[in-house]
Structure 1
Amino acid sequence: MSLPRIAIDAMGGDVGVRVMIDGAAEARRHHDRFKFLLVGDEARISTALESHPNLREASEILHCEDVVGGDEKPTQALRRAKTTSMGLAVNAVKRGDAGAAVSAGNTGALMAMSKLALRTMPGIDRPALAALLPTLGENDVIMLDLGANTECDARNLVQFAIMGAAYSRIVTGREAPRVRLLNIGTEEMKGTDQLQVAAAQLRAATGLAMSFDGYIEADKINRGEVDVVVSDGFSGNIALKAIEGAARFVTDLLRNAFTSSLRSKIGFLVSRPATELLKHHLDPNNHNGAVFLGLNGVVVKSHGSATAGGVANAVMVAARLLEEDLTQRIAADMAALGEDRLRDSK
């Protein structure tokens, strides 16, 4: 089976070309049927590839020296979409030279370029940024939107739920993922008018491959009781930052506690297996790879400061979504819902 290539923006991110190439090489070892289009400075990429003959044999380099800055405004970056490594990686998907693009660069610029180049799928009004978060359950939870759309109406939220459920079926294997809307309470009368309308539409919809049962509060996101959490981008981004901050707080608190005295240091040695497991579970590199859902193509955003292992996880997310044909799953689910029923219920 011939699979589409994955385009890698080798110049994006905070760390540089070496980490992006090391990460792609690690991902290639897990998904050896894929080939890659490495976009960026050819000399630097070629040097980094010397350590990875397996990746070198499966890759083509598209030379580009222009890079989108980390603090560059999306409108400015759009003007250079045809000359920057990020823009060329996304445009490779548009032309069909690649099936997915992976970048660790400027999130706003990547979203703007992706939306302009790839457009949204039929029936989808806006793309959403979705990511995997760790839970106490057997599976990670998918949360969207995480910042692409600060204001959303009920129609957007319903579409996000459908896209998130399709993504969840790939990563969890559940035929009917548990989907909830993020709200300030679980009672039916809680929340904005848009949330209540979206909840009513999802309850009334038939033929959707999901299990919808209302709302979830932010403190339950990581309990393992839900597979997909749907929100507008404003609330979702705040919730995500709060979760990440709490994880760093716990990690720093434990570090300070274990170094406060000799007795604490001995206690650390005794409990080290447990603390190492906690560290692994909270490490964002192990859940790296946010996806822009709803586009005519796969685009994955890696953390700018991701390690090679984190980059590998982002690339493997792209590979898996191509293997499982995520866009076709979303299209089928939108067809099952029926645009007329969505319009009629507004």
Structure 2
Amino acid sequence: MGGDEGLAVMLAGAALARSRWPGLTFLLVGDETAIRAGLLKHPNLATVSEIAHAPDVIGGSDKPAQAIRRAKTTSMGIAIDAVKTGKAGAAVSAGNTGALMAMAKLSLRTMPGIDRPALAALLPSLGSNDHVMLDLGANTECDTRNLVEFAVMGAAYARIAMGLERPRVRLLNIGTEDLKGTDEVRAAAALLRQATDLQMAFEGFVEGDKISTGDTDVVVTDGFSGNIALKTIEGTARFVTDLLKRSFRSSFRSKMGFLISRPATELLRTHLDPNNHNGAVFLGLNGVVVKSHGSASDKGVANAIGVAAKLVSNDITRRITDDLAHFTAYRALTAANAAAPKAANE
């Protein structure tokens, strides 16, 4: 029931996702009467869908604390509970991000060994693949442990979403030198450099102007910096496309130039279209919850559903659990090996 367009675009997106991935089935949570009326336009979706009535909805201005108190009666809360009870493999919502995060964390809890969940998304790059960036706003302050966990989770996500065997991982920083950055960032880098047998290739730091060059597969940062970086990237993309539109309309010669260069500009528009990269996931929870952008089109909603389906089918929670357990065991062995010579000398 969330998003700028509400029910209509969510149903259209689900119908499009069903045509792309015929094996999907849906639990549609919200106003039952409105959903049944909307399904009349999508008969193919109606045949593979169940409806769970929710008498209430979370508004865009509702605070997380208010949303939590109404979880049992709202479409968002009931959808998350369906994941917890096994009625659904994943929940997809275009509603209030803060409320979704709060209710998901309270209901599903964080995975064993994970201190905090992180919001991760695929973003466009100049490389042959997109890149994963996290955290994008779930945690404004992060310590060394959080950043290391984000790196492990982000690498697991990249292996599933992009089919990479050893994703290249970097920490967002104000420079690439080892002495640059906060104590937390430098300490996280030191720990990740030591863990050479993880299913990732840790390559140090990346600066903000190199995020989208294609030189890294996973960019790790705290939620405060990550959200600013995300909004800056989105704003710059809109600035470029709007500037091109204005330039091409400025004169007859420019309009002729637009006609000649239209294939290139269409490629640029497609590459920068946020609907083609829609679907941010809360990594680190005991269940899959995907956040669709509030202004997403039906194509964007379908992409978000596709992200959820891929994470469920590839068992993202097990992969993160295994990777984190491997990292924890590696650190324990390293600490024991380091302590052995010291104990012998004493």
TM-score (norm 1): 0.95
Aligned to 1:329, the other structure's residue is in SS state helix
Q: Which moved more, 1:55-64 or 1:180-189?
A: 55-64
Q: Which amino acid aligns with 1:159?
A: E
| 1:182-204 deviation digits (Å, cap 9, x = unpaired) | 00000000000000000000011
Q: How many residues align?
A: 335
The offset of 1:56, in angstroms, is 1.0
The offset of 1:53, in angstroms, is 2.0
Q: Cα 1:343–1:219, aligned 2, differ >3 Å: closer, same or farther?
A: farther
Which of 129, 137, 146 in structure 2 is aligned with 1:147? 137
The offset of 1:301, in angstroms, is 0.1
CA distance in 2, matches of 1:98, 1:116: 17
Q: Paired residue for 1:211?
A: 201
Q: Cα 1:137–1:340, aligned 2, differ >3 Å: closer, same or farther?
A: closer
Quick check: 1:307 aligned with 2:297?
yes
CA distance in 1, matches of 2:228, 2:329: 31
Quick check: 1:22 aligned with 2:12?
yes
CA distance in 1, matches of 2:15, 2:318: 28
Is contact 1:163-1:294 (8 Å) kept? yes
CA distance in 2, matches of 1:271, 1:284: 22
Q: Paired residue for 2:278?
A: 288
Aligned pairs for 1:199-278 within 5 A:
199-278=189-268
Q: Which amino acid aligns with 1:239?
A: A
Q: Paired residue for 1:78?
A: 68
Is contact 2:54-2:75 (8 Å) kept? yes
Is contact 2:110-2:116 (8 Å) kept? yes
Quick check: 1:158 aligned with 2:165?
no
Q: Which amino acid aligns with 1:300?
A: V
The unaligned stretches of length 5 or more in structure 1 are 1-10
| 1:6-36 deviation digits (Å, cap 9, x = unpaired) | xxxxx01110111000001111112211211
The offset of 1:344, in angstroms, is 8.6
Q: Which moved more, 1:25-34 or 1:185-194?
A: 25-34
The offset of 1:241, in angstroms, is 0.8
Q: Cα 1:263–1:206, aligned 2, differ >3 Å: closer, same or farther?
A: closer
CA distance in 2, matches of 1:197, 1:318: 33
Q: Which amino acid aligns with 2:322?
A: A
Q: Paired residue for 1:195?
A: 185
Which of 323, 326, 332 in structure 1 is aligned with 2:316? 326
CA distance in 1, matches of 2:197, 2:15: 41
The offset of 1:339, in angstroms, is 6.0
The offset of 1:269, in angstroms, is 1.0
The unaligned stretches of length 5 or more in structure 2 are 336-346
Aligned to 1:150, the other structure's residue is in SS state coil
| 1:144-185 deviation digits (Å, cap 9, x = unpaired) | 000000000000000000000000001221110000000000
CA distance in 1, matches of 2:24, 2:10: 16
Aligned to 2:73, the other structure's residue is in SS state coil
| 1:277-311 deviation digits (Å, cap 9, x = unpaired) | 11111110110000000000000000011100000
CA distance in 2, matches of 1:31, 1:268: 36
Q: Paired residue for 1:4?
A: none
Q: Which amino acid aligns with 1:217?
A: E
Is contact 1:90-1:101 (8 Å) kept? yes
Is contact 1:289-1:313 (8 Å) kept? yes
The percentage of aligned residue pairs carrying the same residue is: 69
Aligned to 2:120, the other structure's residue is in SS state strand
Structure of higher CA gyration radius? 2
Q: Paired residue for 1:6?
A: none
Is contact 1:123-1:339 (8 Å) kept? no
Q: Paired residue for 1:87?
A: 77
The offset of 1:338, in angstroms, is 1.3
The offset of 1:47, in angstroms, is 1.6
Which of 107, 122, 135 in structure 2 is aligned with 1:132? 122
Q: Which amino acid aligns with 1:37?
A: L
The offset of 1:207, in angstroms, is 2.7
| 1:51-80 deviation digits (Å, cap 9, x = unpaired) | 222211111000113110101110111110
The offset of 1:340, in angstroms, is 7.8
The offset of 1:93, in angstroms, is 0.6
CA distance in 2, matches of 1:344, 1:64: 52
What's the Cα RMSD here? 1.3
Q: Which amino acid aligns with 2:199?
A: A
> Which stretches of structure 1, 4 residues or longer, exceed 3 Å deviation after superposition?
342-345
Aligned to 1:82, the other structure's residue is in SS state helix
TM-score (norm 2): 0.95
Is contact 1:121-1:294 (8 Å) kept? yes
CA distance in 2, matches of 1:320, 1:124: 22
Is contact 1:147-1:237 (8 Å) kept? yes
